[in-house]
Amino acid sequence: MQKTETAPTDPALADSTTRPDIRRDRAEAAAALFISAANSAVEGRERALLANLFEAIFADFPQAIALLDAERRVIQANTAFENLFGYPADALADRRLADILAAPRFDSEDDTVAGLVPSNASARMKALHKHRDGRTIPVIVTYKPVVIGARRTAVLALYDDLRGRTHGVAATTRQPINDSLAGLLDRRQFEAECSRRTSHLDSLIYLSLDGFDAVNAACAHPAGDTLLAIISHRIRNTIHGSDLLTRFCGDEFALLLKDCPLQTAKRTASSIIKQIRDYRFHWNNRTYCIGASVGVVSHINPAGNWSQLLSAAEGACQTARSQGSDRVHVCRNIDTAQRHAHVDWVGRIDTAIRDDQFELCYQRIAPLNGGGEHAEILLRMLDSDGCVIAPGNFVPVAENNGLMPAIDRWVISAVFDRLILDRVLDGMLININISALTVGDEAIVDFIRDELVRTGIDRSRICFEITETAVVADLSNASKFVDDIHALGCKVALDDFGSGMASFQYLRSMQFDYLKIDGSFIRDLADSPVDQALTDAINRLARTLGIQTIAEYVENERIVEWVKKLKIDFLQGYGVHKPERW
């Protein structure tokens, strides 16, 4: 799948592990990792994996964790568990959890856990557990079944302490994860905050800058980043402090104006446009004028689908842009706007495929422990005026309308042709993203074989990246694709590893050359003990399986130092190399 280029975030601004929803994500990640370790460590070279991971990672994991057998007896508990409930390790072994932590309503909880084993289901509940000294401790506990080999069934229990202080997870409340350019919410947090709204008077604004691409092209990324920070600041000064602001990708912003009726929203949109239009950006003795196009959706149904509402606002923004710069367009019929925007995008993508209206970029992947440099190929689309459209704007539409296989074929042919003509990436391994739809396309391997024969390029230099989501969605086709690509003499990388939170059993049967650790673990690596433990465990797992690892979203020197400390093989991100046009 073609990726959205994500601007760097500053981990000094936030520690995502302090947010309950992020902590639950990390608990899910831990469960998936430990389950994978248990399932993998039963034969051959993987026999030592369980002991290695549990001793090196499980014991020091910041969150309280216990591994239980089918009778809910404790097989093993980590240090955080011992600290939370006051029991030393020798007092826990082979004891039933009900006997150790018995508190009001524990019997019903014990019955729930007992039912997980035959049903292979998971459960998450609030509970009161007793400390060894008799105190009652409120917790949220997540139970997940574990199948160790074919005969032994167990349950993994992960605990969140609900008291004022937490065990293993920093209790200090900090800001949400922010865009480093101006302290903005990221898209996930923006949508999450929007979904909590109950007012019917909120308004949604989608804003696209006009003239930003000219600055980026003429002055490179530092100038673009500076301009975006200034624009973000000017937008923030125009809206109320309680309103929400995010930057999606490139030069596009979204705002939620709380309790703001239509006429007020229109005035706010016009004020923002004026703030941007009146500003003159100076860089290297040149002056640039920036404009903006704005779409507005008002009287929002708080129970509606926020992704659809954002699409409607984006469609209104496109309409405004088609009428000229510095315009505001109000979406009065969301269904019609979405339908028109959808049809427009499908047509634009078809045209881009037919008329070669794409451009290739590359981002270097630097080795840490020897080995050659890599380059990941990124894709952008060009509009009729030659302006750049980031993947986040067209890839979702292409995926939903079956257009990704055609786009992937365009990329493969274009990359192979460029490697013949251009020497910029000589000597590097070339990483090409493949979408889930293309992985399941029976004709894709034949197409790749034909293109390799046509161009005669060195097959060992080509590495195809497929996402963990694509693998888990169709294990059979993914496994066949990996085998077929290896038969061609090319390599395969597993992208976004850890994002799916599925069992990693498939790693034993598929021979991946590289494993790219999902950026959600790397962004806060320098500040989050949980992410440090999980990243270390993933790296150990990969090494045991003979797979080299790549850390994505390495955005500053503090993260670089942690990646080196954990002995990951490669690193990639804005802190290493910003994407360049190829």
Domain CATH for 574 = 3.20.20.450
Same domain, 149 and 199: no
Q: List the one residue out of 509, 507, 575 whose CA is nearest residue 36.
A: 507
Give the pLDDT band of residue 367 (cuts 50, 70, 90). very high
Task: Please indicate, yes or no, if residue 339 is contained in any of the structural domains.
Answer: no
> What are the pLDDT digits (tens) for 390-432?
787 788 788 878 999 999 999 999 999 999 988 889 999 999 9
User: Would residue 219 count as lying in a domain?
Assistant: yes
pLDDT in tens, 549-569: 999 999 888 999 999 999 999
Pair (381, 277) in one structural domain: no
Tell me, yes or no, whether 135 and 188 share the same domain: no
In sequence order, what are the beta bridge partners of 140?
126, 160
| Rounded-to-integer distance, Cα 328 and Cα 320, Å | 6
DSSP 490: -
Q: Does 146 reside within a domain?
A: yes
Task: Give the torsion sign (CA, 81, 87, 89, 95).
Answer: negative
Three-state DSSP state, 440: coil
Query: Is residue 7, in this structure, part of any structural domain at all?
Result: no
Say yes or no to pLDDT of 537 above 80: yes
* Parallel, antiparallel or unpaired: strands 580-581 and 152-161: unpaired
Assigned token pair, 44: 């051959």
Does 3 fall in a domain?
no
Co-location of 151 and 73 in the same domain: yes
DSSP string for 257-321: ETT--HHHHHHHHHHHHHHHHT-EEEETTEEEE-EEEEEEE-S--TTS-HHHHHHHHHHHHHHHH
**Does one domain contain both 138 and 220?**
no
Most confident listed range (109-118, 244-253, 332-341): 244-253
Contact 253, 238 (CB under 8 A): no
How many structural domains comprise the chain? 3
Q: How buried is 402 (Cβ within 10 angstroms: 0-12 exposed, 13-18 middle, 19+ buried)?
A: exposed
Classify residue 465 as left (phi > 0), alpha (psi -120 to 50) or beta.
beta
Selection from 252, 272, 265, 268 nearest residue 209 by Cα: 252
Closest to 530 in 3D by CA, of 171, 62, 82, 158: 62
Helix/strand/coil for 435: coil
Contact (Cβ atoms closer than 8 angstroms) between residue 515 and residue 498: no
* Interacting residues of 96 by C-beta distance below 8 A, sequence separation 6+: 71, 72, 73, 74
Task: Kindly report the number of other CB atoms within 10 A of residue 335's CB atom.
Answer: 10
Final residue before a domain boundary, out of 284, 299, 332: 332
Q: Residue 130 belongs to a domain with what CATH number? A: 3.30.450.20
Residue 520 has pLDDT above 80, yes or no: yes
| Shared-domain flag, residues 516 and 559 | yes
CATH code at position 309:
3.30.70.270
Considering the domain architecture, whether residues 181 and 91 belong to the same structural domain is answered as no
Q: What does pLDDT average to over the chain?
A: 79
Q: Quick one: tokens of 95?
A: 């004891």
Angle at which helix 444-455 crosses helix 404-421, to 10 degrees, equals 20
Same domain for 140 and 188?
A: no
For residues 228 and 150, membership in a common domain is answered with no
Alpha helices (H) in 323-467, listed in sequence order: 334-355, 391-400, 404-421, 436-439, 444-455
Angle CA 493–49–161, to nearest 5? 95
Q: Write out the residue range of the structural domain in which residue 289 sits.
A: 176-332
Query: CA-based angle 108:112:118, to the nearest 5?
Result: 150
- 97 in a structural domain: yes
Predicted confidence (pLDDT) per residue in 19-63, tens digit: 444 444 555 555 555 555 555 444 444 445 544 555 555 666 777
| Same-domain status, 140 and 30 | yes
Is 11 inside any structural domain?
no
Phi then psi for residue 72, to 5 deg, are 65, 25
pLDDT for res 282: 84
Average of pLDDT values for 163-183? 41
**Are 410 and 559 within one domain?**
yes
For residues 219 and 317, membership in a common domain is answered with yes
1 part of a folded domain: no
Q: Which of 127, 161, 195 is the last residue of a domain?
A: 161
Q: What is the pLDDT of residue 361?
A: 93
Among candidate residues 332, 348, 383, the one where a domain is terminated? 332
